[in-house]
Chain A
Amino acid sequence: MPVRRRQKDLNFWEKIYIPEIAKGLALTFKTMFKPKFTMEYPEEKFIPPPSYRGRPVLVQEENGEERCVACGLCSRVCPALAIEVQAGETDREKERYPERFEINMLRCIFCGFCEEVCPEEAIVMSKDYELAFTNREDAIYGKDELLVPVKNLNERINFLRQYK
Chain B
Amino acid sequence: MSSTDTAQHGTPADAYPPDDMGRWGEFGGRFVPETVMAALDELEAGMNEAFADPAFHAELALLARDFVGRPTPLYLAERLTEDVGGARIWLKREDLAHTGAHKINNALGQAVIAKRLGKQRIVAETGAGQHGVATATACARFGLKAVVYMGEEDMRRQRPNVVRMKMLGAEVIPVTNGAGTLKDALNDAIRDWIANVEDTHYLIGTAAGPHPYPYLVRRLQAVIGEESRGQMLDRAGRLPDAVVACVGGGSNAIGIFHSFRDDPVRLIGVEAGGTGGALHARSLSGGKVSILHGSRSYVLCDDDGQVVETHSISAGLDYPGVGPEHAYLHATGRAEFIGATDDESLVAFDRLCHLEGIIPALETSHALVIAERIARDLGPSGDVLVGLSGRGDKDVDQIAARRGIE
Do the two shown chains form a genuine complex with each other? no
**B interface list, Cβ under 8 A from A:** none
